[in-house]
Amino acid sequence: MSLTLELVIAFKLQNTVSCRKWAGYGLVRILSVLAFLLGGVEASGTVYQKPSEFIAANFGGKLPTTRALKLSGTHQAMMKRFLGHSYKPSTVRYWAQGGAFVVILEEVGKTQPITTGFVVKGGRIEQVKVLIYRESHGFEVSRSSFTKQFRKAGLKPDGKLDRRVDGIAGATLSVRALSGLARVALYLDRVAPK
């Protein structure tokens, strides 16, 4: 057993009562930070593909010019509708060329951000790929068997996806995060100058 794991277990067992007062701060977060500081846990999560590689792969191996959309109050209101909360960045970077719109977005699953790449063409999702997954469970959303459900999805007038996306037991919050981001990506494709 690693020294880090032993320290975390000892900390948890010896400080059960005092840790309860920290529950509001999230015992899991506290232990994760402790383990990270001691060198036992990688904070970056699982990197399936670097964002720059995802972008280049969708433009023939070259990175097109990065564009930015400053999110207005109207944009923020729509994104809040899709995600259930305000989207923190005030600007979204994207890449557009030859009818393809590529955007990299992040949304928290349970406690950690999930970095996801979207390719939209003709108002329909062409590709969804989880690029970096940081959660301790629910990684199944990164599998192509899940992400292919978004292929050819569009945005209905009511702001919902026009196709059903099946959930995954044990990954409800990650599924919800990716579904919300898919709606955001489709919306951004509509409003971003090409």
Extents of the domains making up the chain? 3-37, 46-191
Residue partners of 95: CB distance under 8 A and separation at least 6 = 55, 58, 59, 63, 64, 65, 66, 67, 101, 102, 103
Closest CA to 130 of 171, 76, 159: 171
The predicted model scores a pTM of 0.76
**pLDDT string in tens for the chain (194-residue length):** 444 444 344 444 344 334 333 344 444 344 344 344 444 334 568 999 999 999 999 999 988 999 999 999 999 999 999 999 999 899 999 999 999 999 999 999 999 999 999 999 999 999 999 999 999 888 999 999 999 999 999 999 999 999 999 989 889 999 999 999 999 999 999 999 98
